[in-house]
C-alpha cells in the first residue's frame, strides 16, 4: 500500500547552485547527499517534513554525472524541472507486483538501491499519464 509522497525528483544542471536556490528561497537544508554510480547521478535530499507513517517527504535534486545516464538524457531533451514523483511503500516488491498485474510496466525486474539505502523501482511514464513514477521502501533507520 502506498503511504505517502516520498519525494519529488528535480533534474538540474548544477546541483550546488540548485541547492543554494532552495536554501535561500525556501529555507530548505540538505538532509542527505550522495553519488549513485549505478544511476549516474549526484543528488541532494532536502527534507520537507515528517509524515504520519514515520517517514518523511523530500525534494530530491539530481545532477547527472554522465551524459548517458537516464537523468542526463532527460535533461538534454527537457531541460531542468520535475523529473519524477516517488511514493513511499512498506513493500516495494509487493506493490510493484500488484501494479504490474494491473497492466502497468514496471521498469526493473528486481528493485534496485536508491537514495539513503532505499529499495526502488520505477513505473513507465506512458502507463502513468506521462509521469515517471517511483516506488520507494525506505531503509528502516531513515
Cα–Cα distance measured from residue 64 to residue 73, given in angstroms and rounded to the nearest whole number: 9
Which among 39, 63, 83, 84 is annotated as catalytic? Answer: 84
Tell me whether residue 60 is one of the annotated catalytic residues: yes
Q: Is 7 a catalytic residue?
A: yes
Which of 43, 83, 101, 110 is catalytic? The answer is 43
Q: Of 7, 39, 63, 83, which one is the catalytic site residue?
A: 7
Marked catalytic residue, from 90, 129, 134, 142: 134
Say how far apart CA 14 and CA 26 lie, in whole Å: 18
Catalytic status, residue 43? yes
The DSSP secondary-structure symbol of 128 reads: T
The whole-angstrom separation of Cα 92 and Cα 90 is: 6
Q: Left, alpha or beta for 116 (phi > 0: left; psi -120 to 50: alpha)? A: left
Marked catalytic residue, from 32, 37, 60, 90: 60
Catalytic residues: 7, 43, 60, 84, 134
Amino acid at each position: 500500500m502506498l503511504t505517502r509522497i516520498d519525494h519529488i525528483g528535480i533534474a538540474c544542471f548544477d546541483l550546488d547552485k540548485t541547492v543554494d536556490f532552495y536554501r535561500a528561497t525556501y529555507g530548505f537544508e540538505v538532509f542527505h547527499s550522495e553519488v549513485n554510480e549505478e544511476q549516474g547521478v549526484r543528488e541532494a535530499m532536502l527534507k520537507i517534513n515528517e509524515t504520519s507513517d514515520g517517514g518523511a517527504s523530500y525534494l530530491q535534486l539530481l545532477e547527472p554525472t554522465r551524459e548517458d545516464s537516464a537523468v542526463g538524457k532527460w535533461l538534454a531533451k527537457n531541460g531542468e524541472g520535475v523529473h519524477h514523483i516517488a511514493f513511499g511503500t512498506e513493500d516495494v516488491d509487493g506493490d510493484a507486483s500488484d501494479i504490474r498485474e494491473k497492466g502497468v510496466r514496471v521498469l526493473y525486474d528486481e528493485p534496485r538501491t536508491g537514495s539513503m539505502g532505499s529499495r526502488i523501482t520505477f513505473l513507465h511514464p506512458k502507463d502513468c499519464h506521462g509521469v515517471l513514477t517511483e516506488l520507494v521502501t525506505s531503509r528502516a533507520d531513515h
